Amino acid sequence: MAHITLPDLPGIRGPMAFRPETAKPLNELAEILLRDDNNTLSRGERELIGAYVSSLNDCFFCQNVHGALAGHYLNCDTPAIDAIKKDYQSTSISDKLKSLLSIAASVQKGGKNVTPEQIEQAKKHGATDREIHDTVLIAAAFCMFNRYVDGLATWAPQDRLYYVNRAPIRAAEGYIDFDLYKNL
Amino acid sequence: MAHIQVEDGVPGIRSLVMFRPETGRPLYELAQILLRGESTLSEGERELIATHVSSRNNCMFCMNSHAAAARCLYGDEKNIVDEVIKDVHQATVSEKLKTLLNIAGKVQILGKEVTENDVAEARQRGATDREIHDTVLIAATFCMFNRYVDGLASWTPTDPAIYEEMGKRMAKGYVLPQARTETKL
């Protein structure tokens, strides 16, 4: 049971329905960071960073929502996304993305864990300042979202297909102004 | 030196939102609503939660700037801010705020660390659902800000006078700073 009385909605929807004024900038942040196409990192890559950090934070809801979105954009199935979350180094994603996930992992532990060597490695593999900035901010933002969702003890549908089925809708509608009570 | 090319001489999160104002905008809007918007928790109390979480995350820029803002807001009672930084258990804050600071401290570790008992104790001291919600979200938000600021190694000033000035401005509200090359003020 959630720690406060929330509308009976899954995951982050409950807290967002509880307080729409804070939901607005949270969704605007998600939209610009994860979905805006004026970005040299693809939507799939950015959702993957979010899903990966959420798995490190052991947040079931977030890692499944964003893992399913990553799978949708990258055109790969749940086992492939799970393999990346578990051990991205041994997968066939690009070296640049591997170096960015390494930075994201450090951010998850704490900002000061990011080393100059990790930054250098990312730049060596072609990461721009903007891509590094966004990687750090996505990782940091998910450290917020995961704590919001779990800190209020919201509930998450346990069937993983639930998230896979809804990914195309979220991908098409985006994060701004979407109806929290629709497509449950 | 920051991990990315940001404007020289601009500290912490200000340099980062100047680098990328499109993401800076919702970040500042979130700070404004959470810390300055209508609430049964005073602005000072909310800044104390931010300061406490930033201290636990060892983010000196955020801790010092929000401590400075909190001191402005607490006025004559400003010593309470240093009490919380030094040892939250000994601080002379209200019993209710103590339970909320405890919840914030748990969120700082991870969301699942918050127990039903933590929440029950807050309720016993009069905390409302809205106050508990905001405490969790403020703590979560500062777990983001702290990682953003330190994750990119943005400049952390050491001069207390710089933070005092920042605090005065922050006490009034959170306005997205413009890059210096754009404004000639």
Render each residue's pLDDT in chain A as its tens digit; 184 residues. 999 999 999 999 999 999 999 999 999 999 999 999 999 999 999 999 999 999 999 999 999 999 999 999 999 999 999 999 999 999 999 999 999 999 999 999 999 999 999 999 999 999 999 999 999 999 999 999 999 999 999 999 999 999 999 999 999 999 998 899 998 8
Helix (H/G/I), strand (E/B), else coil: B155: coil
- pTM surpassing 0.95? yes
Domain that holds residue B36: 12-172
Note whether A110 contacts B57, CB cutoff 8 Å.
Answer: yes
Note whether B30 contacts A143, CB cutoff 8 Å.
Answer: no
Note whether A139 contacts B4, CB cutoff 8 Å.
Answer: no
Note whether A36 contacts B141, CB cutoff 8 Å.
Answer: no
End-to-end CA distance of chain B: 26
Query: Residue B182: what pLDDT?
Result: 52
Burial A139-165 (b: 16+ CB within 10 A, else e): bbbbbbbbbbbbbbbbbbeeeeeebbe
State how far the Cα of A175 lies from the Cα of A97, in Å rounded to an integer: 24
**CA B184 remoteness from chain centre:** 29
Residues of A whose CB is below 8 A from B130: 19
Query: Residue A151: what pLDDT?
Result: 98
Q: Which of A133, A141, A153 sits opposite B19 (nearest CB)?
A: A133
Please report whether residue B65 resides in a domain. yes
Rg (CA), chain B: 16
Q: How far is A121 from chain B (nearest CA, A)?
A: 12
A25 at B interface, C-beta within 8 A: yes
Average pLDDT for B53-65 = 98
Q: Which of B4, B25, B59 sits opposite A129 (nearest CB)?
A: B4
pLDDT at B185 over 80: no
Please report whether residue B3 resides in a domain. no
What chain B residue is nearest to A132 in terms of C-alpha separation? B4
Please report whether residue B182 resides in a domain. no
Q: What is the pLDDT of residues B68-102, one digit of tens each?
A: 999 999 999 999 999 999 999 999 999 999 999 99
Range 76-135 of A in CB contact (< 8 A) with B: 103, 106-108, 110-112, 114, 116, 119, 129-130, 132-134
Please report whether residue B4 resides in a domain. no
Note whether B3 and B34 are within 8 A (CB).
no
Q: How far is B76 from chain A (nearest CA, A)?
A: 31
Residues of B whose CB is below 8 A from A54: none
**CA A18 remoteness from chain centre:** 22
CA nearest neighbour of A150 among A66, A64, A62? A62
The structural domains of chain A, with segments of one domain joined by +, span 13-173
User: Helices then strands (H, E): number in chain A?
Assistant: 9, 0
- Tell me how many domains chain B contains: 1
Residues of B whose CB is below 8 A from A55: none
* Class at the top of the CATH hierarchy for domain A13-173: mainly alpha
Helix (H/G/I), strand (E/B), else coil: A174: coil
Query: Residue A46: what pLDDT?
Result: 98
CA nearest neighbour of B74 among B51, B108, B107? B51
Residues 6+ away with beta carbon under 8 Å from B110: A57, A58, A146, A147, A150
CATH number, domain with residue B54:
1.20.1290.10
Report the length, in residues, of chain A: 184
**CA A63 remoteness from chain centre:** 7
